Amino acid sequence: MLDRLRLHVYPKEPLTCAKLTQYASLKLETKRRAKPTLHLLHVGRRKEKLRSAEAGAAADPKHKESSAMEVSGLDSDGKEFKNAEEMWREQIGEDGEQQEKKTQWYREGISYWEGVEASVDGVLGGFGNVNEVDIKGSEAFLQMLLSDRFPNARNNQHLVALDCGSGIGRITKNLLIRYFNEVDLLEPVSHFLDAARESLAPENHMAPDMHKATNFFCVPLQDFTPETGRYDVIWVQWCIGHLTDDDFVSFFKRAKVGLKPGGFFVLKENIARSGSEGIT
């Protein structure tokens, strides 16, 4: 599983809407190539809905040719979707009915997590063993980012991070709070955020003096606008797949105001190297 994890940093230059759009379309493009994988981020936790049709595609060269753009799939009830657009239409509807269906979409996502134990294994979907190597990889990346882009970090520069979709605060506790003077957490599921608050109480973590978890926001990303210019890094890991495509774009558009000049989004998500490889 881990060889499928990649870290992406964006932007290397100041954020512009054009770049955001480019980035968003990068996601959509990825989605075209590996839709079932991305879609699993949404529905896998509900009922392992989409299964890739690419196993069949691999055996059928004609199908394979088209599979780069058009990946069909079945849901767990056996319903077939020709492509992701068709699936999205069913999930969040056409324009007119969109709001209601979208609300339902988000409600179901949250209600899944409300039924999950507040533990590392819980937030990692049963893959708690991934925690250590995930943190190690992220730390190597973060060190590189800090020395490359924040050369004054060692000279008492006050660094602030936001951990988006933080769950129980696993990433903050194991990584971010050691490097950032302040970390804010955003998590829409209250029992996860309560667990984070407890484990990040000053007596329960080993971060350097003066490093602390400051704010705990119990809101979903699609409803969040950060305080202007507060963050050096906005870390988004293993939760962006909960957003619909339009909310994905609008989140980054809104959240960019939360970055200090020279600040970064870090987006870490699973990807498929090819076909349905990333699904398991």
Does 269 engage in binding with ligand SAM (CB under 6 A)? no
Tell me which residues in 205-244 interact with ligand SAM (CB under 6 A).
220-222, 237-239, 242
With residues binned 3-state (H G I as helix, E B as strand, rest as coil), the percentages for the chain, rounded to 5, are: 50, 15, 30
Report the distance separating Cα 269 and Cα 99, nearest Å: 26
Least distance from C-beta 58 to ligand SAM, angstroms?
Answer: 28
Out of 23, 88, 113, 265, the only residue in the binding site for ligand SAM (CB under 6 A) is 113
Q: Given the rule CB under 6 A, which of 30-38, 57-65, 109-117, 152-160 is the region that contacts ligand SAM?
A: 109-117
Least distance from C-beta 120 to ligand SAM, angstroms?
Answer: 7
Identity of the residue, 90 or 114, whose beta carbon is nearer to ligand SAM in the bound complex: 114
Report the distance separating Cα 105 and Cα 217, nearest Å: 21
Backbone angles phi, psi at 212, to 5 degrees: -155, 155
Identity of the residue, 87 or 266, whose beta carbon is nearer to ligand SAM in the bound complex: 266
Out of 171, 234, 266, 279, the only residue in the binding site for ligand SAM (CB under 6 A) is 171
Contact 50, 81 (CB under 8 A): yes
Out of 123, 159, 195, 279, the only residue in the binding site for ligand SAM (CB under 6 A) is 123
Query: Any residues with CB less than 8 A from the CB of 49 and at least 6 apart, and which?
Result: 39, 40, 43, 75, 76
H or E element that contains 90: helix 84-92
Backbone angles phi, psi at 125, to 5 degrees: 60, 35
The residues that touch ligand SAM, with contacts defined as CB under 6 A, are 106, 109-110, 113, 123, 165-167, 170-171, 187-189, 192, 220-222, 237-239, 242
